[in-house]
Amino acid sequence: MESALVKKIVSGDIQAFEMLFNDYYKRLAYFAFKYLEDKDSAEDVVQELFSKLWLNRHQLSIETSLNAYLYGAVRNACLNQLQHQKIKENYVAAASGSSAVYEALLPDQIDANNLSLLIQSCIIDLPPERQKIFLMSREHDLKYKEIADQLGISVKTVEAQMGKALRFLRERLKEYLVVWTIILLKSIIYL
């Protein structure tokens, strides 16, 4: 039953998607509320999940049950949101002059796991081809010319896609000045 529903959604069946939405929305919103303790934020998380699910339906691959997939996705989104909130609160406190909190935001003292999760969640939201180009540049340390050669595209296309990726990340990470500075400095090295 679940696999048939997923296949319908992947093929673009809006009625199947609506059925999934109607079956899970309230339960997932309640589940998210347990983490976030805010009704609007919980609903936003669930709405964003369903939005991404529909927009990326062609790439949908569920290894577990649909139920486990949806609840896991909501849990991860809630944990990411809570982490973002914590970082934002620390940043605001630092900006208001608390030197102890400011020192906690220095690049060599940022919790590597939290920083990594934050960046990874943003990278995952990039369109697939842009994400591939970005990761080739950042994880494999390839120059734009090397990426263009491997993908059979022009260097200008790589530059344009990297520019869009960096703008997207800058917008998503604007509250995290330290994080953005690290990304920006790395991008200058590879130009």
Least confident of 25-34, 47-56, 84-93, 153-162: 84-93
For the chain, what is the domain count? 2
Q: How far apart are CA 119 and CA 172, in angstroms?
A: 9
Q: What is the DSSP string of the chain?
A: -HHHHHHHHHTT-HHHHHHHHHHHHHHHHHHHHHHH--HHHHHHHHHHHHHHHHHTGGG---SS-HHHHHHHHHHHHHHHHHHHHHHHHHHHHHHTT-HHHHHHTSGGGS-HHHHHHHHHHHHHTS-HHHHHHHHHHHTS---HHHHHHHHT--HHHHHHHHHHHHHHHHHHTTT-HHHHHHHHHHHHHH-
Does 43 map to a domain?
yes
Least confident of 67-71, 97-101, 181-185: 97-101
Whether residues 139 and 191 share a domain: the answer is yes
pLDDT at 24 over 90: yes
How do residues 113-132 score in pLDDT, each as one tens digit?
A: 555 666 777 788 888 889 89
pLDDT at 96 over 90: no
Whether residues 124 and 182 share a domain: the answer is yes
CATH code for the domain in which residue 74 is found: 1.10.1740.10
Sign of the four-CA dihedral 147, 153, 159, 161: negative
Whether residues 73 and 115 share a domain: the answer is no
User: Per-residue confidence at 84, pLDDT binned at 50, 70, 90?
Assistant: confident
CB 182 within 8 A of CB 136: no
pLDDT at 31 over 90: yes
Task: Name the domain boundary from 37, 58, 78.
Answer: 78
Model pLDDT, residue 103? 45
Does 96 map to a domain?
no
CATH code for the domain in which residue 164 is found: 1.10.10.10
Tell me the residue range of the domain where 70 lies: 1-78
Least confident of 93-107, 113-127, 133-147, 158-172: 93-107
Task: Name the domain boundary from 78, 99, 130.
Answer: 78
Q: What is the DSSP string of 7-48?
A: HHHHTT-HHHHHHHHHHHHHHHHHHHHHHH--HHHHHHHHHH
Q: How far apart are CA 94 and CA 110, in angstroms?
A: 13
